[in-house]
Amino acid sequence: MNFIFADDSEQSNPTREGMKPLIGLGGVHISAEQIGDIEYEINELCSRYGFPDGEEFKWSPSRNTHMHDNIQGEMRVKFYNELFEISLNYNTTAIVVASDNDCRFADDSSTSHDEDVTTIFLERANQLFNSFKRNGAVIIDKPGGGHKQEKELVSKCLETLEKGTDYVKFDHIPLPVMTADSQHIRLL
């Protein structure tokens, strides 16, 4: 079995004149046999950089977090380079889907850009599992909106997996999308 650990969709704010807002979803693929080892190495890396137990690392860390306050500039670049080196050692594969909020949906059945990037992400995950000729599971970070939003996300993903899309029959994702707290699984 293969796994993809994904972070839920995030809305970007335009940072430059003319740059439009994007919404994206990204994740990493890893084989089941390697999950424990890579999670252990990532936790060791975080310990070396002084992360408190359960504190996440993020591209844009929130204020008053260890990463925001203590891992900046060249040190942050070094941290990410070490993280990428660990990932390379385990042959991880990244999947990233981004959408311009001003463009039409890629999947005609989508009702929002969040839903659209999630559907496209699931298509890519199924294709990746197919390329390995193995089934897989997708684990997504719990959404920030609480239990109701989490239930809606899982239900919508299950509906997508069951009905498929115009382009993909989901024949390599036999389980519903699962959620987990990224404070407990650093792979998220």
Domain annotation covers residue 187: no
Is residue 8's pLDDT more than 80?
no
pLDDT at 153: 92
Tens digits of residue pLDDT in 154-177: 999 999 999 999 899 999 999 999
pLDDT at 11: 58
Mean pLDDT over the full length of the chain: 89
Range of the domain at 43: 2-13+20-180
Rounded-to-integer distance, Cα 50 and Cα 105, Å: 42
Domain annotation covers residue 188: no
Domain annotation covers residue 118: yes
Domain annotation covers residue 140: yes
Domain annotation covers residue 89: yes
Contact 118, 138 (CB under 8 A): no
Domain count, the chain: 1
CATH number, domain with residue 9: 3.30.420
In which band, very low, low, confident or very high, does the pLDDT at 78 lie, cut at 50, 70 and 90? Answer: very high
Tens digits of residue pLDDT in 35-73: 999 999 999 999 999 999 889 888 888 899 999 999 999
Strands (E), the chain: 2-11, 22-31, 93-100, 136-141, 178-180
Domain annotation covers residue 185: no
| Least confident range of 14-18, 28-32, 104-108 | 14-18
Domain annotation covers residue 174: yes
The number of beta carbons lying within 10 Å of the beta carbon of residue 38 is: 21
The structure tokens listed for 137 are 């599971």
Crossing angle for the helix pair 73-89 and 35-48, nearest 10 degrees? 160
| pLDDT, mean of residues 98-124 | 88
Domain annotation covers residue 186: no
